[in-house]
C-alpha cells in the first residue's frame, strides 16, 4: 500500500501545532478534533439524505419535510454531544435552540471554552442535493473557571473569538478553520475516514469577479445597495466587471467559493427584514473571523462585524463579506 506520509490528518495537525506552543493546555486542539468527529458523523447522514427521501417510511411530502427537519436536529445533537463529552467545552449556543446550554459537570466547569454553532446552515437545500454546512465559533470564557459558564461567555464580540470554522458537505466534505495563526482547510478522505490537510494557509484573493446576492429581493434593498449591484453588472475597466453572479442559497458554500476564488457575498437588509436575515452569532461572526484572517473583510454595511457588541443570542444583522478590494468598492457605494 502506498501511504503518503506528507499528508497530515486533522489530529496530527492539531498536535503538531501544539508543539510550537509549549504553554498550551491542548484544550482547543481537543475541541477542534471533537468538532471534526461530529462533522464526520453528520457527513454520513447528509450523504444518505437523498436515499432517506426515496426510502422514507411513507414517502409523502410531509414526511420528507420531517426528515429534513430531523437532519437539522441530528446535526445539532451530534455537535452538542461531542462537545459535552469532551474535555474543553463548558457550554454551547445553537441556532436550533432557544437558549444556551450549560453542561455543568466537574470537567465541563473546568473547561476554558464555549462554542456557538449553526448545525446545518442552508438546510432548505438538503432534499435537493446541494451543498450545506455547519458553522462554529469558539470563545474563551470570561466567567470563573470551576463554575458553570454564563450568558456573558456567549455574548462576546467576534474579535474575541479564539477560533472559528465551517464544515461544507459538498462534492467533497471539507473542514476549514481559523485561529489567530492562520486559516487551514482539511478535506475528508472517506477511504480512511480522516480530515486531511489539503488547503494550508488559505488566503482570500484581494480581487474577485463573483458577487453573491439574492436578486429576487433587489427592489427591497436600499438604494446604495441597488446601485452597487447594478455596477456589478456593468462593464468597468477599473473593477474588471461585469462580475459573474453566483448564489447557491447555502451561505457556507457561497462564502467558501469566494474565499478560495475571490468574490463578495451579501445579505443586505430588506424592507421585509430590516435587520437582515442572517444570525450574527452563529453565522456572521465566525465567517467574518475566517475571511478577515485570510485577508478579506466583513461588515454590516457600516461597522466591522467583529466589532459589534452582541445583545441577544439570536440577533440578526445585514451581512457583507468577501475580497478586500471588492468590499472597499462596495463601501464606496454605501458611504456615498
Q: Which residues bind ligand AHM (CB under 6 A)?
A: 118, 121-124, 214, 249-251, 277
Minimum CB separation from ligand AHM for residue 92, in Å? 17
Binding partner of 277, given Mg ion, ligand AHM, none, CB within 5-8 angstroms per partner class: ligand AHM
The footprint of Mg ion on this chain (CB under 5 A) covers a number of residues equal to 2
Pick the closer one to ligand AHM by CB: 122 or 205. Answer: 122
Grid cell locating 322: 468577501
Q: Is the peptide bond before 242 cis (omega within 30 degrees of 0)?
A: yes
Rounded to 5°, the CA angle 319-244-123 comes to 50
Cα distance between residue 202 and residue 261, in whole Å: 11
Q: Is 96 in the site for Mg ion (CB under 5 A)?
A: no
Pick the closer one to Mg ion by CB: 10 or 115. Answer: 115
- 320 class by beta-carbon count within 10 Å (0-12 exposed, 13-18 middle, 19+ buried): buried
Pick the closer one to Mg ion by CB: 34 or 118. Answer: 118
Q: Is 72 in the site for Mg ion (CB under 5 A)?
A: no
- 241 class by beta-carbon count within 10 Å (0-12 exposed, 13-18 middle, 19+ buried): middle
Q: Which one of 18-26, 111-119, 153-161, 216-224 is the stretch in contact with Mg ion (CB under 5 A)?
A: 111-119
User: Residue 56, SS3?
Assistant: coil
Chain centroid to Cα 254, Å, comes to: 11
Dihedral, 212, 218, 222, 227 alpha carbons, nearest 10: 70
Binding partner of 194, given Mg ion, ligand AHM, none, CB within 5-8 angstroms per partner class: none
Looking at the DSSP bridge assignments, the partners of residue 134 are: 167
Minimum CB separation from ligand AHM for residue 309, in Å? 23
Of the candidates 101, 83, 104, 103, which has an alpha carbon nearest to the alpha carbon of residue 93? 101
Minimum CB separation from ligand AHM for residue 60, in Å? 23
Pick the closer one to ligand AHM by CB: 32 or 251. Answer: 251
Q: How many CB atoms lie within 10 A of CB 291?
A: 27
Pick the closer one to ligand AHM by CB: 122 or 296. Answer: 122
Minimum CB separation from ligand AHM for residue 292, in Å? 19
What phi-psi label fits residue 114: left (phi over 0), alpha (psi between -120 and 50 degrees) or beta?
A: beta
* Strand segments (E) across 141-259: 161-169, 173-179, 183-189, 194-199, 210-212, 244-245
Q: Is 121 in the site for Mg ion (CB under 5 A)?
A: yes
The CB-nearest residue to Mg ion is 121
Binding partner of 250, given ligand AHM, Mg ion, none, CB within 5-8 angstroms per partner class: ligand AHM
Binding partner of 214, given Mg ion, ligand AHM, none, CB within 5-8 angstroms per partner class: ligand AHM
Minimum CB separation from Mg ion for residue 95, in Å? 6
Q: Is 118 in the site for Mg ion (CB under 5 A)?
A: yes
Minimum CB separation from Mg ion for residue 328, in Å? 27
Binding partner of 123, given ligand AHM, Mg ion, none, CB within 5-8 angstroms per partner class: ligand AHM
Looking at the DSSP bridge assignments, the partners of residue 188 are: 195
Residues engaged in binding Mg ion (CB under 5 A): 118, 121
Amino acid at each position: 500500500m502506498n501511504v503518503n506520509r506528507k499528508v497530515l490528518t486533522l489530529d496530527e495537525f492539531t498536535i503538531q501545532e501544539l508543539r510550537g506552543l509549549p504553554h498550551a493546555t491542548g484544550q482547543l486542539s481537543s475541541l477542534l478534533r471533537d468538532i471534526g468527529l461530529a462533522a464526520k458523523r453528520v457527513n454520513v447522514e447528509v450523504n444518505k439524505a437523498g436515499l432517506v427521501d426515496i426510502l422514507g417510511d411513507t414517502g409523502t411530502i410531509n414526511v420528507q419535510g420531517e426528515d429534513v427537519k430531523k437532519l437539522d436536529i441530528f446535526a445539532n445533537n451530534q455537535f452538542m454531544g461531542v462537545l459535552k463529552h469532551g474535555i474543553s467545552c463548558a457550554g454551547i449556543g445553537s441556532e436550533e435552540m432557544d437558549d444556551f446550554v450549560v453542561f455543568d459537570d466537574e470537567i465541563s466547569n473546568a473547561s476554558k471554552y464555549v462554542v456557538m454553532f449553526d448545525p446545518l446552515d442552508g438546510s432548505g437545500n438538503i432534499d435537493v442535493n446541494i451543498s450545506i454546512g455547519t458553522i462554529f465559533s469558539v470563545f474563551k470564557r470570561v466567567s470563573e473557571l470551576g463554575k458553570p459558564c454564563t450568558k456573558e461567555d456567549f455574548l462576546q464580540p467576534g474579535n474575541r473569538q479564539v477560533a472559528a470554522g465551517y464544515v461544507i458537505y459538498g462534492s467533497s466534505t471539507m473542514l476549514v478553520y481559523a485561529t489567530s495563526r492562520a486559516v487551514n482547510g482539511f478535506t475528508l478522505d472517506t477511504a480512511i475516514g480522516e480530515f486531511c490537510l489539503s488547503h494550508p494557509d488559505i488566503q482570500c484573493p484581494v480581487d474577485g469577479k463573483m458577487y453573491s446576492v439574492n436578486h429576487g429581493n433587489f427592489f427591497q434593498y436600499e438604494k446604495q445597495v441597488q446601485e452597487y449591484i447594478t455596477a456589478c453588472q456593468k462593464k468597468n475597466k477599473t473593477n474588471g466587471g461585469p462580475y459573474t453572479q453566483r448564489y447557491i442559497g447555502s451561505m457556507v458554500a457561497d462564502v467558501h467559493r469566494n474565499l478560495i476564488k475571490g468574490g463578495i457575498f451579501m445579505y443586505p437588509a430588506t424592507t421585509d427584514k430590516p435587520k437582515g436575515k442572517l444570525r450574527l452569532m452563529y453565522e456572521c461572526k465566525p465567517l467574518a473571523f475566517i475571511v478577515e484572517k485570510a485577508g478579506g473583510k466583513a461588515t454590516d454595511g457600516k461597522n466591522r462585524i467583529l466589532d459589534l457588541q452582541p445583545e441577544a443570542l439570536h440577533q440578526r444583522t445585514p451581512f457583507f463579506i468577501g475580497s478586500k478590494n471588492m468590499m472597499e468598492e462596495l463601501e464606496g457605494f454605501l458611504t456615498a
